[in-house]
Amino acid sequence: MGFDAWFFARLDYKDKEKRLNNKELEFVWRPSTEHLGNDVQIFTHTLYAHYSAPSGFDFDSTSNDVPWVNNEKSKDYNSEKEAQALIAHLEERANHYLTDDIFVLFGDDFRWMNAYQYYESLDNMIEYMNTHYGHRYNLFYSTPSVYVDAVYKHNVTWPTKYDDMFPYSDNPDAYWTGYFSSRPNDKEYIRRASYNFHASSQLFAKTVID
């Protein structure tokens, strides 16, 4: 497909719970071994918190989370309190992955309405954490490719997945099976059946009216 890794969020909630408990949120996906063998595979990373910022650290103006303030003279100074909350989150997150490299997204749908405010808090967060907790953490702006290169260096034997992600549900009564662009044959059959159904409904309505 032209890339080395795939990052995604939408995983069935039961599957995700199992992978969280077994440290299998990252795996090698071999989706078609019966036809293509083991040569066709991709490193897959399941996002820990969907594609959202960690709870309490959504620094956009659309959020109720407070900015990260390092200035001790400010009445809003909160960096040490925020640091302790962030450390608790990072340690919890790290418990579910096989390496000590942590990939954290910031944002969500309709976020970054105030990018200046968001980056100001992120800059403050990175500066404070690296200054006061640099012996434990090294925070920096990064990319998926940099993260993939980092975890590859650990030489981990990754879990392997062979089947697809269907069905996908985010709670017991909510299935998103038709949301994805895969299963094109099924979607074609459904679309054709829909055409026939609506056409027959119109003919039936016309017959009733007449």
Q: Tell me the per-residue pLDDT of 128-171, one tens digit each, with 9 for 90 and over.
A: 999 999 999 999 999 999 999 999 999 999 999 988 887 788 88
Residues 54 and 105 in one domain: yes
Q: Splitting the chain (210 residues) into consecutive groups of 10 residues, what average pLDDT does each group show?
A: 84 93 94 71 93 95 95 96 97 95 94 95 98 96 95 94 84 76 75 88 81
Same domain, 202 and 134: no
Domain check: are 93 and 51 in the same one?
Answer: yes
Residues 197 and 113 in one domain: no
What's residue 182's pLDDT? 63
Position 41 scores a pLDDT of 87
Residues 6+ apart with CB under 8 A from 147: 45, 101, 103
164 with 193, same domain: the answer is: no
Q: Are residues 114 and 205 in the same domain?
A: no
Q: Is 187 found in the same domain as 112?
A: no
What is the DSSP code string of 90-148? HHHHHTTSSSS--------TT--TTHHHHHHHHHHHHHHHHHHSTTT-------HHHHH
Could you tell me if 105 and 59 are in contact, meaning their C-beta atoms sit under 8 angstroms apart?
no
**Rounded to whole angstroms, what are the CA distances from 154 to 21, 158, 184, 208?**
21, 11, 38, 70
Q: Which domain holds residue 198?
A: 180-209
74 and 111 share one domain: yes
Give residue 109's Cα distance to chain centre.
12
Is there a single domain that holds both residue 153 and residue 69? yes
- Are 20 and 96 in contact by the 8 Å Cβ rule? The answer is yes
CATH of the domain at 141: 3.20.110.10
Q: Are residues 139 and 191 in the same domain?
A: no
Question: How many independent structural domains does the chain possess?
Answer: 2
Contacts of 23 (CB under 8 A, 6+ apart): 96, 97, 98
Are 149 and 192 in a shared domain? no
* Same domain? 111 vs 65: yes
Pinpoint the alpha helices (H) of the chain.
13-22, 33-36, 79-94, 115-132, 144-152, 184-209
| Distance between CA atoms of residues 181 and 165, nearest Å | 12
